[in-house]
Amino acid sequence: MPDVPSLFYTFHFYLFGLVAMASAVVFVTRRSPVSAAMWLVVVMFSLAALYVMLDAQFIGVIQVLVYAGAIMVVFLFVIMLLNLGHPAELADARGLWWKLAAGAVGLGLVAELFTLVRGATAAPYTLPAGYAAQQVAAEGAIAPVAGPLFHEYLLAFEVTSVVLLAAIVGAVVLGKRRADAR
Amino acid sequence: MLAESLFFSAVLFSIGVIGVLTRRNAIIVFMCVELMLNAVNLTFVAFARVYGAGGQVFVFLVMTVAAAEAAVGLAIIIALFRHRHTVDLQNINLLKG
Amino acid sequence: MLIQSAASAGTNPLAGTAAGWMWAIPLLPLLGFLINGLVALTSAAHFGPADPTAASHAAHGDDDGAGHGDAHAAHASTRHRFAAVTSIVGPGVLVAAFLLAAAAFLAMRAVPDLSAPFVQRYFSWMPVGDLSVDVAFRLDQLSMVMVLVVTGVGMLIHIFSVGYMREDPGYPRYFAYLNLFVFFMLVLVLGANYPLLFIGWEGVGLCSYLLIGFWFSEKANADAGKKAFIVNRIGDFGFLIAMFLLFANYGTLDFSALQAQAGAFVFGGPLITAIALFFFLGCTGKSAQIPLYIWLPDAMAGPTPVSALIHAATMVTAGVYLIARSNFIFAAAPVAGLTVIVVGALTAFFAATIGLKQWDIKKVLAYSTVSQLGYMFVGVGAGAYVAGIFHLMTHAFFKALLFLGAGSVIHVMHEAYHHTHRHDDAQDMRNMGGLRKHMKVTWILMWIATLAISGIPPFSGFFSKDEILGTLFSRADGSTLAQAHWLGLPGTVVIYGAYALGLAAALLTAIYMTRLMLYTFHGPNRTGEQERAHLHEAPWVMTGPLVVLGILAAVGGWFNLPEIVTRALPLGPTGLLEHWLDPVVGAGTARVVGSGGEVAAGTEGLLIAVAVAIAVSGIAIAVTVLKPARLVPKAQASPEQGFERVLNNKYYVDEIYDAAVVRPTYDVSRNLLWRGIDTGLIDGLLVNGSAWLARLTGWIGSQFQSGQLGTYAWVLVLGVLLVLGAFHHSVLP
């Protein structure tokens, strides 16, 4: 990518960003868990698009496959399993003041995060502009991620396998219907 | 594009927080947490573009943890539902000290 | 300065001689302490004061309160199974130490004009900031005299103790303490700086406490030990303050280094006077002077040889040694010197009056000791350091002899009572009388000591006491003391007053000592018909040391003959001790003397004549007035009346202290410190209050634990907001 991104690129970047934010707002305001889940999927697709535009094609693909594909499907399965699809059963009873307070906190959080990251890039460590794109062009999309993953972060990578194993065991134990439970 | 990405990320994260604070449905609260994780991932990816691909590795790890968390969390919700026949957080106060 | 003295040690002519072994002199008693202590530990479970045989002791203690400790010496029938080891080791180490000290003394004699002290540094003890204290021993003429007295008299008393204490179940423990005492005493006199001296000072205090309460199964003995310990702490406070002041102002605590700065002391300035007075406060505690003398008479609860060694011959004279050692300080502070003179003279007189009317033979000797210590302080206060040390030495001889003689008497009395199974006071003179027929050797030796302490020529006490009083008289004219003022009084008046008190005390000394002899050895025997058959002389192991001390008490004056005597009679060299000590105390003495000088020979002769006349008349008064034949045994005696009763009760000083100091302290401690501050403030407000506060905050915190995840989420998010806000202010510019 050149220093100054093209108008086409900029337009789409903003477009996906706005879609993501709008879908997120719709997501938190949906009463039905099913529609909320569907809107969350939209957010995740938009994010996948942003990842691709940020030269992280591999992560974008994984985002679609794992998040939108696998994790959200599990959520939907659980919603269906518990038969929570009927919004009437779920009164969203938080009051107006509660919501206003939450909104104020959210705005405050945005403001704080924003002032925190402003000017926070440490110049001596930044890569030259367009480096990531050149790297992808030269090595492909996977090699730049695989390199550090299997060298510097090998131990963390191996430990995630333990985390996943523990999660599997935990899910099985928790989800198992006990013999004595009715 | 770094500044824009961080802005999107902050907004998405805050929306997730608002969701956690306002919703009572355990599954939706859980999904809000997922949204917050995604927002953080966007930050990682944006910074990875500036500082090097190591940041993407963290996205990878976050996704793994998210998957594990989803598995355990949903299992807990199912177990709770079996026990109480509800996922309304207002009716669940097992953490009372 | 330290480096200098260390360097001088390297070139000191004593370096290669027997004096180079001086470190072994204190270590030998320490070795004895370790061996005897181990022996004492081996069978502590079987024997000791708490063993079943103590029942008879307790019964014995019932019929009379204090001063009964010595009863046990002959009473106990359980001799320790390793007593033989102790009998060899205990006195053995002292004999070896004395021989070593004598060798060092001969080595010192062989060096002509030895002026620099011989300092041996062993290791650096407290190198803290500016303060540098070494463990170092300093052998000079003064410490040599003290070492010889301590090991010599100590050796004799150790040998005596073998006979006196052998039957006691705590025999090894006794010798362990006694050896430890000698070790600390030697550290005290050999230490090359004030902190090391203080270690010895405290160590002898500890041993004194342990030995006073040696028979601790009787409460009176344990209380006496505690009293000695606590009263001494008051004095030690003064000692410590003096050391702090010295270090804060002169930057060192080493004797040599301080002496080198002596010229820089502001003569008579408030600082040096304060230092001297604080040191003297320490002395009043350790050496039993007014107002802290009260512990010494009670200390007679310990075994009699302990009284002889610690509470007469050595430890209580540590204060005199301290002042002689610090002569460069006291010489620069005439007001402090006058204070020492006044306190010493008052103590000498006051204690002598109490001694007139005591019935307990050891109590008489105890007050006599207090009185004689007063004389020594008069001497060192007047800058007559040689005279003070001289009297210290002769006093060690004759007072140790008196105490050991009294020990023999008590031993014999007690054995007699033990044979007939009678429980009566073996220390009360009303139960004695006529003992000269039964104990001839002791009788003769104690008369020698009595004549010596009364100041009858040619016995040792005459020379030393006369030198103190004579020097004091000469100081009244022209010396720096005479020119100073004490509480508005001119120094000359104070000195003449002290001189008069000293003469009066000498008269009283002659009276009460003669009284002691008359009631104990003369007249009819009042012990009892059956008991009389069992009275006999003590064994040779006890009388042997008495004979040696008797010889020393008789001829001890030879060590420092005055010129007026040697001019008339060619008895020996003049002022032997004076010449010997001159390198140590000469400068200090010269500073005190100032423009004054010796009294004329005619005046000196007159003074001596007056002193002798007073001593003789004291003895004559006692012989004519007192009628031993009229005395009745203690059990039949009627209580005293009038002033006699006041004297017998020691002017009620203990009671006054109790009402003025002990009771108020006790009440303040109980009502204010305990009930008010400890129970109310600390327990109530601080301890329970903080617990209550923790409970309250815990309760408030628990109210947040509603179990509602929504609430938790809120708290969490607000926390995040706060933390991020804090980042804002701290991290970002």
Q: Note the ipTM here.
A: 0.91
Q: Residue C59 — pLDDT band, cuts 50, 70, 90?
A: very low
Backbone angles phi, psi at A27, to 5 degrees: -55, -50
Distance CA C418, CA C436 (A): 21
Contact call for residues C528 and C522 (beta carbons, < 8 A): no
Show which of residues 64-93 on chain B sit within 8 Å of chain C, judged by CB atoms: 89-90, 92-93
Tell whether the model's pLDDT for residue C253 goes beyond 50.
yes
Whole-number percent of chain A with pLDDT over 90? 37
Locate the chain A residue with the closest alpha carbon to C718.
A105
**Cβ–Cβ gap A75/B35 under 8 Å:** no
Q: Report chain C residues whose CB lies below 8 A from the CB of B24.
A: 710
Predicted confidence at residue C63, as pLDDT, reads 37
**Cβ–Cβ gap A109/C721 under 8 Å:** yes
Q: Report chain B residues whose CB lies below 8 A from the CB of A32.
A: none
Distance CA C282, CA C15 (A): 34
Predicted confidence at residue C549, as pLDDT, reads 93
Tell whether the model's pLDDT for residue C395 goes beyond 60.
yes
Distance of CA B42 to the CA centre of its chain: 13
Distance CA C550, CA C556 (A): 10
Distance CA C542, CA C157 (A): 9
Contact call for residues C578 and C459 (beta carbons, < 8 A): no
Distance CA C208, CA C290 (A): 19
Q: Residue A69 — pLDDT band, cuts 50, 70, 90?
A: confident
Predicted confidence at residue A91, as pLDDT, reads 55
Question: Looking at per-residue confidence, does C73 or C411 come out higher?
Answer: C411
Predicted confidence at residue C477, as pLDDT, reads 84
Distance CA C605, CA C470 (A): 10
Q: Report chain A residues whose CB lies below 8 A from the CB of C710.
A: 94
Tell whether the model's pLDDT for residue C87 goes beyond 70.
yes
Tell whether the model's pLDDT for residue C71 goes beyond 60.
no
Predicted confidence at residue C181, as pLDDT, reads 95
Tell whether the model's pLDDT for residue C299 goes beyond 60.
yes
User: Which run of H or of E encompasses C133?
Assistant: strand C131-139
Question: Looking at per-residue confidence, does C715 or A84 come out higher?
Answer: C715
How is chain A split into domains, by residue range?
Answer: 1-90
Locate the chain B residue with the closest alpha carbon to A18.
B8
Tell whether the model's pLDDT for residue A122 goes beyond 70.
no
Model confidence pLDDT, tens digit, residues C171-227? 999 999 999 999 999 999 999 999 999 999 999 999 999 999 999 888 889 999 999
Predicted confidence at residue C179, as pLDDT, reads 95
In DSSP terms, C132 is beta-bridged to: C127
Angle, vertex CA C121, rays to CA C117 and CA C126, nearest 5: 120
Q: Domains (ranges, CATH) in chain B?
A: 2-91 (1.10.287.3510)
Predicted confidence at residue C378, as pLDDT, reads 94
Model confidence pLDDT, tens digit, residues B24-82? 888 899 999 999 999 999 999 998 988 888 889 999 999 999 999 999 999 988 888 88
CATH fold label, A1-90 = Four Helix Bundle (Hemerythrin (Met), subunit A) (1.20.120)
Average pLDDT, stretch C254-263? 89
Among C708, C712, C714, beta carbon nearest to B90:
C708
Q: Report chain C residues whose CB lies below 8 A from the CB of B94.
A: 707
Show which of residues 15-44 on chain B sit within 8 Å of chain C, judged by CB atoms: 17, 20-21, 24, 29
Query: Neighbours of C (≥3 Cβ pairs closer than 8 A)?
Result: A, B
Radius of gyration of chain B (CA): 16
Out of C441-450, C551-560, C683-692, C724-733, which region has the weakest mean confidence (pLDDT)? C724-733
Chosen from A100, A114, A116, A118 to mutate, greatest number of chain C CBs within 10 A: A116
DSSP-assigned letters across all residues of C649-716 = TGGGHHHHHIIIIIHHHHHIIIIIIIIIIIIIIIIIIIIIHHHHHHHHHHHHHHHH--S-HHHHHHHH
Tell whether the model's pLDDT for residue C55 goes beyond 70.
no
Tell whether the model's pLDDT for residue C455 goes beyond 60.
yes
Predicted confidence at residue C53, as pLDDT, reads 41
Mean pLDDT over the full length of chain C: 86
Predicted confidence at residue A1, as pLDDT, reads 43
> A51: which residues sit within 8 A by CB, 6+ positions away?
A57, A59, A60, A63, B42, B45
